[in-house]
Structure 1
Amino acid sequence: MSGADSPEILAAYDAVRSDKDETNWLLISYVGETGNKLVLSKTGTGGLAELAGELDDGQVQYAYVRVEYANDAESKRIKFVLIVWIGRNTKIMRKARVSIEAGAVKKVLSHYSVQVDADDKRDLDTDEIVAKLRKAGGADYNGGRG
């Protein structure tokens, strides 16, 4: 068992999804350099920018983020993003197992609009993620402009 369904991870997931909690992201990391044991490493309230600062270039990590954006002056949308982070300095065997081990994480963090696979913190630009969410959501009241 990977630990993706641990009480700590499930509680953080519920917090990110809750309209009544300020927590808007969680980060899951591996316990060690080998093995598939996962733990909740951090949560935060500072959105994508704060989360990006916590990612480790030598690890595979999984993040779940609440993103709020406006389509127009009258509407606000809330969507969720799953991020599979594969740091550029991650060991090759850990990288090779991501496709298998990510499945356990996706079963737990199951409600998301888009998945972003990233190896560079620039891949987590808020405007680009919002553009992906708009595209995935269908209606785009900005004519394709972020």
Structure 2
Amino acid sequence: MSGLESPEIAAAYEAVRSDKDPANWLLISHASATSNQLKLTKTGSGGLSELAGELDDAQVQYGYVRVEYANDSESTRVKFALIVWIGENTRVMRKARVSVESGDVRRVLGHHSIQVNASDRTDLDEKDVVARLRKAGGADYNGGRG
């Protein structure tokens, strides 16, 4: 996939994965409305809610987010989620490419516990995402309380 091999995307991915970098999300979008080339659009340190605020209702976008949550009263876990955003006003032909394109994105942003397919910002509720990450993580020392 054109653009996914860029040094900017690789550096942003490593920053989100790093314990020492404040960046905890990145967003990849198409270079233009008619382009099939993907590029790094933005990064940030405000978590899933900040990432959700950057999504465009007229685009297909791919987000990668670091989510930290309490595992129990004495420890925390860090997990990663891949967000596949298909805005409600996205052109039909762009939507049709998502299944192939998202496979290429998954290869580049390979280390994630879950993939969240979203077309509405309510699909990105942090409590719901954390609950899915807990289930994907195996042992739940929080007694199933999310």
Q: What's the Cα RMSD here?
A: 0.8
SS of the counterpart of 2:68?
strand
Give the structure 2 partner of residue 9 of structure 1.
Answer: 9
**Alignment partner, residue 119 of structure 1:** 119
Structure 2: gaps of 5 or more residues: none
Structure 1 window deviating more from structure 2 (15-24 vs 133-142): it is 133-142
Q: Deviations over 1:75-105 (max 9, x none)?
A: 1100000000000000000000000111211
Please list every run of at least 4 consecutive aligned residues from structure 1 whose deviation after the TM superposition is greater than 6 angstroms. Answer: none
C-alpha deviation, 1:144, in angstroms: 1.8
What SS is found at the alignment partner of 1:139? Answer: coil
Corresponding residue for residue 97 of structure 1? 97
Paired with 1:34 and 1:108, the residues of 2 have a C-alpha distance of: 22
Q: CA deviation at 1:73?
A: 1.4
SS in 2 for 1:20: coil
TM-score for both structures, normalised by structure 2: 0.97
Secondary structure of 1:42's counterpart equals: strand
One-letter amino acid of the structure 2 residue matched with residue 82 of structure 1: L
TM-score (norm 1): 0.97
Map 1:1-146 to 2 at 5 A: 1-146=1-146
CA displacement 1:8-42 (0-9 Å, x = unmatched): 00000000000000000000000122232001000
SS of aligned partner of 1:81 = strand
Identity level (%): 71
